[in-house]
Structure 1
Amino acid sequence: MRIPMTEYLIIDLDTERWVCRICSQDLGDARGNYKEATLVYDRDPREIHQPIIDPERYEYTFSPDPGYCRILEYYCPGCATQIETEYLPPGHPPTVDMVWDIDALRAQWQARGTDPMTVVTYGPGEDVQRHTAHTHG
């Protein structure tokens, strides 16, 4: 059973693996951090947020200082879809942005008796169905 988790990530509960939603590339253990299996582009923040004032004349230009900030872009190694972006101080490891109880997730979807790929879908060419039952358990 495959569970859509984000626009570009699925958890395959049968194999307990992260999977790219675009190309089905395996992105590692679903009990771990999918970012470890991605291609990472460590961007100079000045490429994204260009200086507003002349950097030749002013020390502070409203552009992030690469000595204090970096931008990490995470890409699927199979199809090059950008999966995530985060701003971090230099030297900081990638954040773990999702930790799931895989056993509880499996039990929850088995109890529902529905296919998550038909209930939770979106994107070009996909039918959109809203799951309206909201519970915490």
Structure 2
Amino acid sequence: MTDLDKHRVESLIEGELTWDEMRNDVLPDPKDPDRFEKTREVLQDRVDWDDPILVPLNDHLYVVGTDDGRVVRAECGEDLCEVDENWKRSCEVFVREDAEEFEELYEEYMHVDPDWAFELREWYCPECYELIDVDAVPVGYPVIKPFDPDIDTFYEEWQGRPAPDRESTETAAD
């Protein structure tokens, strides 16, 4: 087992590790038991707010514990919604649906044929306009969030402790 220090986890998140470093230091199983906590600390250090990141949803989106509950928050600090709601409904969206728009990203003939009723939906933070997610879907496909993390089960059964936003509540109740 290879324990990654916080600096190596930060390099992993930044995409700075070589393939050999990934293959030898990051991918081997079993993982070091505190890797998630190190990752969470690195992510927490990168944001300008103090509420605890519970789980990352993607590179710029997190579930965060607040005094009022759990929210989905963009990296810039914008709260999009409660954790059980569809965060995409709070975002700005740009829909690419014709050849000209596809060719801003792909070379000619390297994208899907627009006659196939296909679109790319780009989801942006309404505050800072950071690209948060992209969906490649048929026209008319419903707006679906990728998944609902079971945060309590993850922390209690996989991490062996309460989620950070529950620790202070449970300590106060004891």
Q: TM-score, normalised by structure 1?
A: 0.63
**Equivalent residue number for residue 111 of structure 1:** 161
Distance 1:113 1:103, change over 3 A: closer
**Equivalent residue number for residue 36 of structure 1:** 89
Distance 1:17 1:62, change over 3 A: closer
Q: Structure 2: which 5+ runs fail to align?
A: 1-51, 165-174
Matched, 1:9 2:61: yes
SS at match of 2:153: helix
Q: Does the 8 Å contact 1:19/1:26 carry over to 2?
A: yes
- CA–CA distance in structure 1, aligned partners of residues 62 and 111 of structure 2: 37
Structure with greater helix percent: 2
**What letter is aligned with 2:93?**
V
Give, in angstroms, the shift of residue 51 of structure 1. Answer: 3.5
Instruction: State how many pairs are aligned.
Output: 106
Give, in angstroms, the shift of residue 83 of structure 1. Answer: 0.3
Q: Does the 8 Å contact 2:152/2:162 carry over to 1?
A: no
**Equivalent residue number for residue 55 of structure 1:** none
Per-residue Cα deviation, 1:54-112 (whole angstroms, up to 9, x for no partner) = xxxxxxx9642255101100000010000001111111112321211233245466717
Q: Which of 143, 147, 166 lines up with 1:94 in the alignment?
A: 143
**What letter is aligned with 2:89?**
E
Relative contact order, CA 8 A, sep 6+: which one is greater? 1
Give, in angstroms, the shift of residue 2 of structure 1. Answer: 1.4
Distance 1:25 1:109, change over 3 A: farther
**Residue identity (%):** 21
- Superposition RMSD on alpha carbons, in Å? 2.9
Q: Structure 1: which 5+ runs fail to align?
A: 53-60, 115-137
Q: TM-score, normalised by structure 2?
A: 0.51
Q: Does the 8 Å contact 2:152/2:163 carry over to 1?
A: no
